[in-house]
């Protein structure tokens, strides 16, 4: 029995070491340099077109809930988030309004008086562009592995904390595009967005942002 426990501990330790080897915390100078580069990249990102796969992980479920869609962003604040499978649902953030199209049923929410929606919109834009480096709002930690940078943003404000305990943004090391956003909740549950087929700074007409 003792031998078994010893073997088990050894295996766990080995796996942990592999984990540590895969993801290393970055040094201060290195992270400062990375942050500068990402902000520069974000400032020159005028449009993003990308497909996405969303996984909703609820710890008690057998499988994550998977949905597929398309994201279009145009600077400074136009964004269309469209789910295509397994349901049709899209939202457009435009001129302080949220335009919703729920499989043909259209509605509108005025965001000018809705503080929490406004901050959500701003968070979405910042996370998609990859620039969430606001130290008043987040505790920030930098990591890297062979292919990617991982930056963890822990919200300081209780209003954000109540629904997202931590944002983990994964950046492609070469392009510095955000390729994954993971939003962890206070429990083991999280939402993971994977971006694929990304096009940056392609021409995007304003007509895209109608709903």
Partner 1 sequence: MKTSGMRFFLISCLLILLVSCSYSTSRGFIEQSPTKDVVVNNYFSDLDKDYVYKAILNIYKHRLSGIFIIKKINTNHHRIVFTTEFGKKIFDFELIENNVKVNYINDQINKKKLIRTLNDDFQLLINQNNAVMNEFYSETESIYLSKMSGKYYYNFYNKNNDQLEKIVMASKNREMLTIVFQDFKNNLAQNIVMNHHNLKISMELRYINN
Task: Identify the CA nearest to 117 among candidates 82, 91, 88.
Answer: 91
Task: Report the b/e string of 72-108 with b at 16+ CB within 10 A.
Answer: bbbbeebbbbbbeeeeeebbbbbeeebbebeeeeeee
Does 66 interact with partner 1 (rule: CB under 8 A)?
A: yes
Pattern 134-153, binding to partner 1, x per CB under 8 A?
--------------------
Q: Cα-flanking dihedrals φ and ψ of residue 27, to 5°? A: -75, 160
Q: Kindly state the smallest distance separating residue 193's Cβ from partner 1, in Å.
A: 9
- Which helix (DSSP H) or strand (DSSP E) does residue 192 occupy? strand 190-200
CA distance 97 to 163: 22
Does 67 interact with partner 1 (rule: CB under 8 A)?
A: yes
CA distance 202 to 86: 28
Does 161 interact with partner 1 (rule: CB under 8 A)?
A: no
Given candidates 6, 8, 15, 163, which one binds partner 1 under the rule CB under 8 A? 163
Does 106 interact with partner 1 (rule: CB under 8 A)?
A: no
Q: Kindly state the smallest distance separating residue 183's Cβ from partner 1, in Å.
A: 7
The answer to whether the beta carbons of residues 119 and 134 sit under 8 Å apart is: no
Does 102 interact with partner 1 (rule: CB under 8 A)?
A: yes
- Whichever of 13 and 187 has its CB closer to partner 1, that residue is 187
Given candidates 112, 145, 187, 201, which one binds partner 1 under the rule CB under 8 A? 187
The answer to whether the beta carbons of residues 176 and 38 sit under 8 Å apart is: yes
Q: Kindly state the smallest distance separating residue 146's Cβ from partner 1, in Å.
A: 29
Total residues at the site for partner 1 (CB under 8 A)?
24
Task: Identify the CA nearest to 139 among candidates 151, 122, 124, 127.
Answer: 151
Does 183 interact with partner 1 (rule: CB under 8 A)?
A: yes
- How many residues are given for the chain? 211
Pattern 11-50, binding to partner 1, x per CB under 8 A?
----------------------------------------
Strand-pair category, 166-172 with 148-155: antiparallel
**Segment interacting with partner 1 (CB under 8 A) among 2-10, 29-37, 59-67, 72-80:** 59-67
Name the residues that contact partner 1, by CB under 8 A: 54, 56, 58, 60-63, 65-67, 81, 83, 86-87, 89, 100, 102, 107, 163, 183, 185, 187, 189, 191
């Amino acid at each position: 029995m003792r031998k078994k426990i010893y073997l088990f501990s050894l295996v766990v330790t080995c796996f942990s070491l592999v984990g540590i080897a895969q993801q290393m915390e970055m040094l201060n100078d290195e992270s400062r340099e990375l942050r500068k580069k990402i902000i520069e990249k974000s400032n020159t990102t005028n449009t993003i077109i990308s497909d996405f796969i969303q996984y909703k992980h609820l710890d008690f479920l057998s499988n994550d809930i998977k949905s597929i869609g398309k994201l279009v962003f145009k600077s400074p604040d136009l964004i269309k988030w469209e789910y295509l499978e397994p349901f049709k649902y899209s939202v457009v953030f435009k001129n302080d309004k949220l335009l919703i199209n729920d499989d043909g049923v259209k509605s509108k929410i005025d965001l000018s008086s809705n503080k929490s929606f406004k901050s959500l919109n701003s968070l979405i834009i910042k996370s998609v562009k990859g620039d969430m480096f606001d130290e008043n709002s987040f505790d920030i930690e930098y990591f890297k592995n062979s292919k990617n940078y991982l930056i963890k943003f822990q919200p300081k404000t209780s209003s954000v904390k109540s629904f997202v305990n931590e944002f983990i943004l994964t950046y492609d090391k070469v392009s510095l595009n955000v390729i994954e956003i993971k939003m962890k909740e206070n429990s083991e549950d999280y939402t993971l967005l994977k971006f694929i087929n990304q096009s940056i700074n392609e021409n995007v007409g304003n007509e895209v942002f109608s709903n």
